[in-house]
Structure 1
Amino acid sequence: MISFIICLALLIGGYFVYGKVVENTFAPDDRETPAVRINDGVDYVVMPQWKLFLVQLLNIAGLGPIFGAMQGALWGPVVFLWITFGTIFAGGVHDYFSGMLSERNDGASISEVCGIYLGNVMKNVMRVFSVVLLVMVGTVFAVGPAGLIVTLLGNKGVTGVLANPEVWLWIILAYYFVATFISIDKIIGRIYPLFGICLIVMAVGVIVGIFTNPNYTIPEIWTHFTNMHPVGKPIWSFMFITVACGAISGFHSTQSPLMARCMKSEKQGHFVFYGAMVAEGVIALIWAAAGCSIYKITGGLSTGLNDILANGQSAAIYDVCIKTMGGVGVALAMIGVIVCPITSGDTAFRSARLVLADWFKVDQNKMQKRLMLCVPLLAVGAFVGHLDYAIVWRYFSWTNQTLAMIVLWTASMYLFREKKNYWITAVPATFMSAVSMTYFFCAEECLGLSTKVAYPVGIILAAAFLGIFIHATKKPMKA
């Protein structure tokens, strides 16, 4: 339990200390923001800071810090370290710069921002990467809630049509269709902050339930500093990819432009972007603690957690809520783990629409133009929603972290051009390059090579990316 408290304190302290360092490095000023200058009543709308924070949290969170953290807990309390330091030095930095660089470039989608600082080739790569990732995220955040709804109804004895996950999947996709093209302040700006609060309340309820139950003890890092994964999956780089949103997530960079288009002042960025990532890190830390403390450990392995996850992630979350909060947990599970991911799913499709709009220069002021992009996007989402969920999640995780890697390199190039401390982004960019490349070479769904090959190749490629960046900084900048 001491390990958990220390990590929690580090996360909170990281917001005030390192978050301030990041903000001072970027140096926000009093220039007119896109929300004020462009205000179109659809995607560019000024919103108050508290609402920006809660919407940003809801957009980037969803199921990510819950599913990923519980899966990460299979490796044991060592996952606390990645969630904590990943959030402070990588995730928060990534989210802040993705949001602020978008704001500095008229609220451009992250693919367009990458093109500005890394060139047209990378812009096109990012366009494809972003749309693919966003469709997968929207799909994951539809299939997951549909499964949990069926689990909840099944426990209540409901049968028939309402017990069919296919029905709920189509209902959720229908909602996505509506929410994707209407003005951002009609639904997102009005009711999503309330769901963001629910996500926080649910996390608080889980940790209070653990602290007050003498049967649950959060294991210490120093007494369980081993690989506790039941099937022996290596910590490097599988844990770093699996946790994803709870430490750093490329998906966040696709969501940050939504709020970058709604900020009244650049100085709101620290609270809105870095602050929302820290809040997500806290939520992930709590759910990881739940996975480590509630379930049985056999022979130093997380066998109990592995067994409950085998029933499906939705069932595992339902089980945690019941065990920590009782009947209240069911209600919170319905709100926090059904509604919240759905709200992230619709903003994922909304972001995909905006990426395509920026890509093909399609004006989004008219509804028919928005529908022209929404219809094919949701059709692809419906197709992906019928694929194997576990496979979609694994590809999402790798694509997600690779996108984060590229965004960090983008921020590094921006800082170099501005003659500022680019190591604040270059170091996590190098680290995430090693994580992403290693996973690509050794994961079964990728190349499936042995770790003896994947480890050195991943590190060599990360060093090569850093070398390319340093070489670029030695070239004279164009006037």
Structure 2
Amino acid sequence: MSPVVLMFIGLAIFALGYFVYSKYLAKRVYRLNDDFETPAHELNDGVDYVPTNKFILWGHHFTSVAGAAPIVGPAIAVIWGWLPALLWVTIGTVFFAGMHDFGALWASARNKGRSIGALSGRYIGKRGANLFLIVIFLLLLMVIAAFAVVIKNLLISTPTSVIPTWGAIVVALLVGVAVYRLRWPLIPVTIVGVTALYALIVLGDRVPVVLPESFLGMSPATFWIVTLFVYGAIASLLPVWVLLQPRDYINGVQLFVGLALLYGAVLIGALFTEAKHNIVAPMINDAVPAGTPSIVPLLFVTIACGAISGFHGMVSSGTSSKQLDKETDARFVGYFGAVGEGLLSLGTILAVIAGFRTVAEWEEVYSAFGAGGVDAFVQGGGMLMQDGIGLPASLSATVLATMAVLFAATTMDTGMRLLRFVVQEIGDAVNVRITKVPATIVVVAVGLGLTFSQGLGGDGGLRIWPLFGTTNQLLASLTLSIIAVMLIRKRRTPWPALIPLAFVFVMSFWAAIDQLSSFANPESPDWLLFVIDVVIIVVSVWVVIEAMIAMRRAATEPPEAEDADVRLEAVREEV
């Protein structure tokens, strides 16, 4: 079968989701209103609360939630066959991720830009909110530690990506000044910025940067990880308009250029070149390698970003809601942000199932569960681009590797900003005021401690990563429970939230229970992960029970007051 068929099927489903289902959510469920004063205007402080053009905000939101996960998850999950992965990515994006991301953004904007953790206190109860913070803290810690390792590995394995990775920061700073201080038009600034970024990619391909075995007294792995945490700390403290927004915006545009190259290579390669790529991976893989876990429930936690992800709710409510210029922008930023991630996941699937010439080549890469990933995406996608549009193999690999590094880096620095918020919220819960700088120092210390917990190579950052999928999806279900409570209190249909909530919670809870036995394996037990998994399971069940009680109570109480009264109530709560 030609990958072009799958490409057009996926694109059609995403288009229907955005132009039909998201409009239904905006008009009938969330009832967006341009007259509503968003937190960005009401609380504008020029640092975290900043009214932002919806295209720039979409770029920030999309690249923050994307990271490397929509590449890694699908690239691993196709070991069960391309059909299950394709179905979960397309259906999950339209009915799960879009609703979840859009809903979290709307819910936070309607509550002064409060985070999901803070919203749980209002809509579920303080006890549930304190438990919620535990899950959020653990998930963000996994993200920043693991993504530091992913970026470090790519910078070492693909030295051609070093110059564009760090050069992108300079480009972003200049874009921020041009847009917010010089007030230059967005379109020409975008063209110049993206052109500069791709010039850096070409330069990086010609001038690879390989660090010596000892650099400033550190190994390359140690140096890159320390540098990444220092960068992330600085980026998380700067006003969002200086670096976070322009960097993420340029990266978002760069992603669509990269996706256009990848999709164009699939189309041109199938129609106009002799080296026609067909799908070599099985539709349903009945001969998975030994040790591969069952497709159910593992598929639904292996592919998180790209179908539905709890991390997205934290970004929606942690940073994006504070920058929303108009409430109606939430549909484009939240739902289309999810669609953008779905497009990346679809492109990944096409690259890893059609980027190899023979079944034997594909099986060699997928010789064990987890063997696919970013490397398979870069290898397969590079081959498609070389054969389809004639881009040299080395430059193709540099483009795709840089794409992965830049998204992982934006997710990491956003994750550090969010974790700083969580540390401050934990301080508030125990009546200890923690300001930005001390909270950031705590984040860096804990993150570096985990990353270097198994040596200076930094691979300790991946130690608790096996729990990411289940924790991430459990958090998504908890976020959906808050959205459902809000909708019930407003006497609006909660089913668009309740159906994904039930499915995601069952699958992720099932996966978490399955993992307990592997962590307690007598031959190679990991009691740290076992204990963390138990904590996550207990906390998640507890919060869901609290949420069910809150839903029942919301259904019997008088409808929630209209928005003006709600905002007055929120002010009284803070006083």
> Please, what TM-score do these two structures have when normalized by structure 1?
0.88
Deviations 1:421-462 (A, max 9, x none): 1011000000011111110111255678xxxxxxxx9xxx99
CA distance in 2, matches of 1:383, 1:338: 22
User: One-letter code of the match for 1:97?
Assistant: G
The 3 A distance-change label for structure 1 pair 310 and 399 is closer
Match for residue 235 of structure 2 among 179, 182, 187 = 179
Q: In 1, are the aligned partners of 2:60 and 2:247 still within 8 Å (CA)?
A: no
Q: In 1, are the aligned partners of 2:378 and 2:400 still within 8 Å (CA)?
A: yes
CA distance in 1, matches of 2:374, 2:13: 30
Match for residue 263 of structure 2 among 182, 186, 207 = 207
Q: 2:196 corresponds to which residue?
A: none
Q: 2:71 corresponds to which residue?
A: 66
Q: 1:379 corresponds to which residue?
A: 445
The number of residues matched between the two structures is 460
CA distance in 2, matches of 1:237, 1:398: 10
The reply on whether 1:262 has 2:265 as its aligned counterpart is no
Deviation at 1:180, TM superposition (A): 1.2
With 145-154 and 262-271 compared, the bigger mean Cα shift is at: 145-154
Aligned 1:13-412 pairs, distance under 5 A: 13-24=16-27, 25-29=29-33, 30-77=35-82, 78-153=84-159, 158=210, 159-161=212-214, 164-213=220-269, 214-218=275-279, 224-227=283-286, 229-231=288-290, 232-257=292-317, 258-295=319-356, 303-307=363-367, 313-325=373-385, 326-361=393-428, 369-386=435-452, 387-388=459-460, 390-412=462-484
What value does the CA root-mean-square deviation take over the aligned residues?
A: 3.0
CA distance in 1, matches of 2:370, 2:509: 28
Q: 1:439 corresponds to which residue?
A: 511
The 3 A distance-change label for structure 1 pair 148 and 308 is farther
Q: Identity of paired residues, percent?
A: 25
Deviation at 1:401, TM superposition (A): 0.5
User: One-letter code of the match for 1:375?
Assistant: I
The 3 A distance-change label for structure 1 pair 286 and 111 is same
User: One-letter code of the match for 1:127?
Assistant: L
Task: For residue 252 of structure 2, give the secondary structure of its aligned residue in structure 1.
Answer: helix
CA distance in 1, matches of 2:477, 2:320: 21
- The structure number with the bigger radius of gyration is 2
Deviation at 1:312, TM superposition (A): 7.4
CA distance in 2, matches of 1:203, 1:168: 27
CA distance in 1, matches of 2:519, 2:129: 24
Q: In 2, are the aligned partners of 1:146 and 1:169 still within 8 Å (CA)?
A: yes
The 3 A distance-change label for structure 1 pair 312 and 306 is closer
Q: 1:419 corresponds to which residue?
A: 491
Task: For residue 244 of structure 1, give the secondary structure of its aligned residue in structure 2.
Answer: coil
Deviation at 1:68, TM superposition (A): 1.1
Deviation at 1:41, TM superposition (A): 1.2
Deviations 1:18-63 (A, max 9, x none): 1111112110111111110111111001110110111111110010
CA distance in 2, matches of 1:52, 1:147: 29
Q: In 2, are the aligned partners of 1:15 and 1:88 still within 8 Å (CA)?
A: yes
CA distance in 1, matches of 2:310, 2:71: 17
Task: For residue 6 of structure 2, give the secondary structure of its aligned residue in structure 1.
Answer: helix
Q: In 2, are the aligned partners of 1:95 and 1:273 still within 8 Å (CA)?
A: yes
Deviation at 1:224, TM superposition (A): 2.1
The 3 A distance-change label for structure 1 pair 85 and 310 is closer
The 3 A distance-change label for structure 1 pair 119 and 263 is same
Q: In 2, are the aligned partners of 1:230 and 1:302 still within 8 Å (CA)?
A: no
Q: In 2, are the aligned partners of 1:95 and 1:274 still within 8 Å (CA)?
A: yes
Task: For residue 266 of structure 1, give the secondary structure of its aligned residue in structure 2.
Answer: coil
Match for residue 9 of structure 1 among 7, 12, 26 = 12
User: One-letter code of the match for 1:165?
Assistant: A
User: One-letter code of the match for 2:366?
Assistant: N
CA distance in 2, matches of 1:342, 1:361: 29
User: One-letter code of the match for 1:3?
Assistant: L
The 3 A distance-change label for structure 1 pair 236 and 308 is closer
Deviations 1:344-381 (A, max 9, x none): 1000110111223234349xxx9x92111000111111
Deviation at 1:477, TM superposition (A): 4.7
The 3 A distance-change label for structure 1 pair 447 and 243 is farther
The 3 A distance-change label for structure 1 pair 241 and 228 is farther
The 3 A distance-change label for structure 1 pair 206 and 5 is same
Deviation at 1:320, TM superposition (A): 3.1
Deviation at 1:75, TM superposition (A): 1.6
The 3 A distance-change label for structure 1 pair 322 and 181 is same
User: One-letter code of the match for 2:96?
Assistant: A
CA distance in 1, matches of 2:476, 2:155: 31
Deviation at 1:187, TM superposition (A): 0.4
Q: In 1, are the aligned partners of 2:71 and 2:374 still within 8 Å (CA)?
A: no
User: One-letter code of the match for 1:26?
Assistant: Y
User: One-letter code of the match for 2:150?
Assistant: G
The 3 A distance-change label for structure 1 pair 228 and 31 is farther
Structure 2 residue runs of 5 or longer lacking an equivalent are 161-204, 270-274, 386-392, 453-458, 522-536, 561-575
Deviation at 1:268, TM superposition (A): 0.4
Q: In 1, are the aligned partners of 2:420 and 2:436 still within 8 Å (CA)?
A: yes
Structure 1 residue runs of 5 or longer lacking an equivalent are 449-456
The 3 A distance-change label for structure 1 pair 312 and 86 is closer
